[in-house]
Structure 1
Amino acid sequence: MLRSCLSKVISPCQSAFIPGHCITDNILIAYEINHSLKLKSCGQERSMSVKLDMSKAFDKEAERCGSISGFRIGSRGPTLSHLFFADDTLLFGKASLQEAQHIRTILDLYKAASGQEVNFDKSAVVFSKNTDPTVRRSITQLLNIMEVPTHDKYLGLPTVVGRSTSEVFSSVKERIWQKIHGWNEQRLSKAGKEIMIKAIVQAIPTYSMSCFKYPDSLLSDIQSMISNFWWGDGAKRKPIHWVSWDRMCLSTNDGGTGFRQLKAFNLALLAKQAWHIATQPSTFLHRVFKAKYFPTKDFFQDESTSRPSFTWRGLCAVRRYLLSGSKWRVGNGLHIKIWKDRWIPRPSIFKIVSPSDALPEDSTVDCLIDKDSGK
């Protein structure tokens, strides 16, 4: 009973407790907003992103009263004033003294009502490039928080990925190395090593892999560490690898050990995320990505985008896999292209092989459906 009405009483900015929402929604939305904030270098409207370290949700009264304007994604996109998940809070708004004062007032009210105070030592603010230095100093002094070029992490994952992607995810590699280094001293059996690899090592990068496409060099390094651990005997000398890694990743029925092929696993997690975005148009996550990257088309149609984010490039990398493994289910046929989409109920290609000049190239299937009979 309660579950059915939660989505009506909880803000879409809160990812927890809402059916169809998950923690990665907030991570991807936060990344896209910070990416847009970083690219914003002109225009009269200046923006800021405030990361607060607090133990409970921010008062939604500010959003209702309009005292915090929020940050708009694109000209048609939703306006977002805050993102909540447990004790991680991100606020978005105009970089002005008036808006900063509203935030300060709400935080003081929150403290008086709950007895809980924001840890300003762990809080920070990021400004768009077009924000005047004088305004920046005034806001940081008013809020009593420091200014940073980018927020380090949100919900445990980076909010900005620069040119050196391997360096950004080096902490994952370091965690895996520490685990393996500790186990090497215990001289585990093959059965023990298999359990450790499958239950712990391969699970470490899963969280970040569901949002970001790892560089191939990093995946190769991680696979080498796992392989060395498997074939090693605890000594420092380099072990002999008697079987290739690809063979090791086969299922046990096919003669392998069932270890994960990390690159394929990374793409599979991203494909799941991409499918969630493509098929859930009512979610806040879909609305953010649509406004920024495909405002006039759907997720699977190419639309040129200048300076896309790292997350969007990862999602685009798996689009072809989703398209090759799916086909349209014809309803009214309004959005299905006759000559381009996979909709024919026949295996192998599911597409019309020889286009005809009888109809324009962008004609949709609804042109072929009789309005009276529906056939």
Structure 2
Amino acid sequence: MEHQWVLLFQDAASVREILSHLIYLSFVLKDSPPLFVKLNVAIILEVLRYAQMHQLFPTFSLQTIVFFSLELVRVTTYEEALGQAINLQKSKLFCSRNTLDDLKNLIATTLGVRQVLGTCKYLGLPSMIGHSKHATFKFVKDRIWNKINSWSSRCLSQAGREVLIKSVLQSIPSYVMSIFLLPGSIINEIEKMLNFFWWGHNSANSRGLHWLSWERLSVPKVFGGMGVKGLKAFNMAMVGKHAWKLVSSLESLITRLLKAKYFPRSDYFGASIGHNPSYVWRSIWSAKDVIRRGFQWSIGTGEHIPVWDHPWISNVARILPSTHHHLEWPSITISDLLITPEKQWNMELINTFFDTVTARNIFNTRCFLW
């Protein structure tokens, strides 16, 4: 449909012709409901009138103006369909450095939103991630350091410091860690601050003796540590929850959204990082190896489980089955190894494909349809 818009607007000579095309498409092609004409022509008229008044057409193309107007149409249609209005007071506009100032002002004025020059926060999270990840997530470290400086560690017992670290300080970054994978430099600085506080120093300038490293304190108490969280592992576990949803909840909205953008022809384990990915996807994609190490199929019909690509054999420590036959049968699934009416494995085929040990483990693997 957008291609049709381009073709129609290439020869348009005036605002009247453009609006005639819009109204025609609205009624004849039924691309938008009649609400388009009643509610949105006024918006398009205002945008084009502003552009003509300020002689902006020589600066940027007429197609740009019209496409921007159509985006306003989509926003209005969304609000009417779902009954959810966009809060313009909480909305901000960020444009790339290649965007002309006149176009920035036009969009901001028409939408009634404020322009921002850099990253901003929404619901406590950065809405955009810049090139410097350390600068973007520095606010997490600052919040922890401000909290430490508000306490007097000399008045606290060792048990009191343990409670504050586990219940207060380590909970501060958990919200951000549930969405983003924090840079290693930020995590190292946070752990250094927690180590300072644990040994009774609430100032970076105070040099005291640290009897144990933070890695040693992160060990469970039964093994001689204090049982505090290792932030890198905790961060990976939090992000890994979203990765697991992409595997287990295939019909969820977030799974369908990410799949359509990053791995439309494969599953999560076969996805690549892609070209110019978002930082959220980079974080979720980084948890792939962790999920894979703890992942194993429970066999039902086996129609969608490839034999060679995922672990599925019981009594095998999540090792992929390997044999020279995988070159001859690259697309075989587990359903091909089953005799469904008799509810048993195809022993003859399995003994042909696999060695004795692997075949015995396959025969001991339970199929949940039996």
Contact 2:196 2:202 in 1 (8 A): no
State the identity as a percent: 32
Cα deviation for residue 189 of structure 1 reads 1.2
Contact 2:273 2:285 in 1 (8 A): no
Q: How many angstroms apart in 2 are the aligned matches of 1:101 and 1:338?
A: 49
Q: Does 1:259 align with 2:228?
A: yes
Q: Does 1:268 align with 2:240?
A: no
RMSD value, Cα: 3.7
Q: Does 1:140 align with 2:140?
A: no
Aligned CA distance change for structure 1 residues 253 and 97 (closer, same or farther; 3 Å)? same
Contact 2:294 2:318 in 1 (8 A): no
The CA deviation string for residues 28-55 of structure 1, in whole angstroms up to 9 with x for no partner, is xxxxxxxxxxxxxxx969xxxxxxxxxx
My pick for the range that moved more, 215-224 or 128-137, is 128-137
Aligned CA distance change for structure 1 residues 287 and 193 (closer, same or farther; 3 Å)? same
Residue matched to 2:146 = 178
Contact 2:249 2:255 in 1 (8 A): yes
Q: How many angstroms apart in 2 are the aligned matches of 1:280 and 1:141?
A: 41
Aligned CA distance change for structure 1 residues 271 and 358 (closer, same or farther; 3 Å)? closer
Contact 2:307 2:334 in 1 (8 A): yes
Residue matched to 1:299 = 268
Cα deviation for residue 305 of structure 1 reads 1.5
Cα deviation for residue 339 of structure 1 reads 1.9
Cα deviation for residue 144 of structure 1 reads 2.4
Task: Considering Cα pairs closer than 8 Å and 6+ residues apart, tell me whether 1 or 2 has the greater RCO.
Answer: 1
The CA deviation string for residues 246-303 of structure 1, in whole angstroms up to 9 with x for no partner, is 2111112222111111111111111112112221111110011101111011111134
Q: How many angstroms apart in 1 are the aligned matches of 2:34 and 2:119?
A: 27
Residue matched to 1:162 = 130
Cα deviation for residue 341 of structure 1 reads 1.6
Structure-to-structure mapping, 1:25-40, within 5 angstroms? none
Instruction: Give the structure with the higher percent strand.
Output: 1
Cα deviation for residue 66 of structure 1 reads 8.1
Secondary structure of 1:340's partner? coil
Scaled by the length of structure 1, the TM-score of the pair is 0.66
For structure 1, list consecutive stretches of 5 or more residues without a partner in the other structure.
1-42, 46-62, 70-93
Residue matched to 2:217 = 248
Aligned CA distance change for structure 1 residues 98 and 358 (closer, same or farther; 3 Å)? closer
Larger of the two Rg values belongs to structure: 2
Scaled by the length of structure 2, the TM-score of the pair is 0.67
Residue matched to 2:308 = 339
Residue matched to 2:62 = none
Q: How many angstroms apart in 1 are the aligned matches of 2:88 and 2:128?
A: 23
Secondary structure of 2:305's partner? coil
Aligned CA distance change for structure 1 residues 64 and 330 (closer, same or farther; 3 Å)? farther
Structure-to-structure mapping, 1:1-375, within 5 angstroms? 96-97=68-69, 99-100=71-72, 120=89, 122-126=90-94, 135-148=103-116, 152-184=120-152, 187-233=155-201, 236-303=205-272, 305-356=274-325, 359-375=328-344
Q: Which amino acid aligns with 2:189?
A: D
Q: How many residues align?
A: 286
For structure 2, list consecutive stretches of 5 or more residues without a partner in the other structure.
8-31, 41-65, 345-370
The CA deviation string for residues 93-129 of structure 1, in whole angstroms up to 9 with x for no partner, is x95235537868999x9xxx9xx99564x53234578
Cα deviation for residue 366 of structure 1 reads 2.2
Cα deviation for residue 175 of structure 1 reads 0.5
